[in-house]
Structure formats: C-alpha cells, structure tokens
Amino acid sequence: MSDWAPDVAKLVAYDDAEWMAVERAFCGRLLAYVARRVPDHDARQDVVQEVFLGAVRGIRLYDPAYTFEQFLFGICRNRVIDHQRRQKPLAFGGRSDEDAAALELEDLASDDETPSRVVRRRDLEAEGARVLGRIVKAWVQETWAQGEFQRLIVVEALLAAGWRNRDVWTRLGLRDESAVAGIKFRALKRLREIALEQGAERDLLAAVANALGEEQGFDLDLRRVWLAERASCPARHWLARHLAGTLAEGPAAFVRFHVDDAACPWCRANLDDLGALEDQAALAPILERVGLSTRELLRSKGRA
C-alpha cells in the first residue's frame, strides 16, 4: 500500500475531483482520531466536516515543508480543541481573547526588550522549530535505515515520550541506566552534527543548540517539536504491514512501542482506519455529507 498524497496545485485551483479524492483518502483516519476524543456521533461528523472546510479555506497557506496529512491532522486537532472548549469552557482556563491580548502586550513590555527584539526572537524560534524538525526527521530516517530500532525506541522514549533514564532501563529491559545514558549521549551528538550540516545562520543554530541542551536564550522545546512534526511516525504503509503482521521484528518492535507505549494519537487513528477499511459502507453517509458541503464551498471559491 502506497502513501497517497494529493496534487496540491489542483487543490489550490479548487479542483472538485482532487478534493473528493482527498475526502475518500483521509475521512476514515480523521474520523478515527476524532472518535477517541469526541463521544457524540453527530458531533464527530460535524468536526470532520469542519476539518475539510477548513482545509479548503486554508489550502493557499499550505506549507510544503509538512506532509498534507500533517496539514489535515493539524486542522483536525484544532477543531477537536474548539469543540471541547465549547463543551467545557472552564476546563481550559477560561482565558478570553482580551486576556490573551493583554498578556501579549505585557510580554512585549517586559524585561526591557523592544518590540523589534521580541519579534526577532520569536521569528528565530519559529524558524528554529522548522530547522529542528528537519534535523530530528533526518536522524530518525538515518537510524531506521541503519536498522537501529532499539536506539530509535530509547531515544523516542526519552526525548518524545518524556520518560526518565531509569524508566527506560527498567521498562525496556536494558542492561543498566548507563546504557540508556550512552544511547542518549550518542543520539544528541549526532543530532548536533546534523544541525551543523544544515548550514543555517548562526543565531538559528544557537536556538537549535539550546533545544539540544547546549545553550540558553531561546524557547525551543525538542519534545514539542518532535511531537508537532510527527518526526518518528511510520508511514501509513508501514502501519498497514504492522496490522497484517508482515513486518520484521525490528520495525515491528518500534511500531508497537510508538503506538502502544508512546501512544501516538495520529498513528492510532491511522491504525483504527486501516482496521476498518473493509467496512467502507460505514463511511458513505459522512462522505456524502462532507462532499456536499465541500462542493458548495468550492463553487463559492470558484466564483470569487
């Protein structure tokens, strides 16, 4: 099974057929993600419908640095949060837009920083996150290609799942805590080497170095970037092979850890969808509903 991706140029041109293909390809996995978080059946369908409408509205802002699936799941995550806020507004702190704006102004005025310095720092942090995401993905791909799946499991447990060295040692059955520390040290060393190979500007490398534990001054969180970039998520065809039981033990062990222990929500949604592929008839009602609303929006975009 290949990992299909749409022709973004056709999507930007509001091509009906390409958008319908997107809905057929991604509706099931988005619904599976939402189903774990939204108990009401009708509300789930509302959320998924809003995801596709949001994708149409935002497609001209699509950043090719991310996969199209990341683009859709990012919208989906936000729509789920919006739904949960509407259901339980106080559970999220009850902060209003006015409060957020006040905090923003307070931040701009603090620590004797000028607005231009604050903006510059934030720009560096945003670009640093993108560079750090590329670095982590490059390391994951390199490690996977080398067949070092235990190393991949240990580093994901430490840097992405937030486990302590002792947790990794005892739960994964390693020799001792020093073995875990050694794997982490070598992984961070290689990540730093990849960072230097990126050839980014000096200030940007400083932001990345901070995330890798070398310097201070930038708010760049390695774990947050790893999760946001889905840096270690296996491709959908690997998940399909895992479900079919045809993976070799090395990659199978990593996929099990990634899905069961690290509890990746995106890959769990993909597995739920893959496991239900034989029941495509169940998706027919929501596909029809989503298709109608999307085509209406596409027609309005075409007239604009």
Determine the Cα–Cα distance for residues 205 and 56; give it in Å rounded to an integer: 35
Overall average pLDDT of the 146-174 stretch: 93
Q: Is residue 5 part of a domain?
A: yes
pLDDT at 199: 64
Q: Is residue 187 part of a domain?
A: no
Q: What's the pLDDT tens digit per position in 233-275?
A: 999 999 999 999 999 999 999 999 999 999 999 999 999 998 8
Q: What's the pLDDT tens digit per position in 81-111?
A: 999 998 875 444 444 444 444 434 444 444 4
Q: Is residue 89 part of a domain?
A: yes
Which of 227, 228, 146 lies closest to 186, judged by CA?
Answer: 146
Secondary structure (DSSP) of 156-198:
IIIIIS---HHHHHHHHT-S-HHHHHHHHHHHHHHHHHHHHHT
Residue 9's CB is within 10 A of a number of other CB atoms, namely 9
CA angle 232/234/235 to nearest 5° reads 130
CA angle 70/72/77 to nearest 5° reads 90
Q: Is residue 100 part of a domain?
A: no
Q: Is residue 251 part of a domain?
A: no
Both structure tokens of 259: 């899905």
- Residue 61: C-alpha distances to residues 11, 64, 75, 137 (Å): 12, 9, 12, 23
Residue 17, domain extent: 1-93+278-304
Number of domains in the chain: 1
Which of 284, 273, 278 lies closest to 236, judged by CA?
Answer: 273
Q: Residue 205: pLDDT above 90? A: no
Q: Is residue 293 part of a domain?
A: yes
Domain of 43, CATH number, reads 1.10.1740.10
Q: Is residue 124 part of a domain?
A: no
Those residues with Cβ within 8 angstroms of residue 36's Cβ, 6 or more apart along the chain or in another chain: 265, 268, 269, 272
Mean pLDDT value across the chain: 83
Under 8 Å between Cβ of 78 and 58? no
Under 8 Å between Cβ of 73 and 33? yes
Q: What's the pLDDT tens digit per position in 28-55?
A: 999 999 999 999 989 999 999 999 999 9
Q: Is residue 272 part of a domain?
A: no
pLDDT at 104: 44
Q: Specify the 3-state DSSP secondary structure of 263.
A: coil
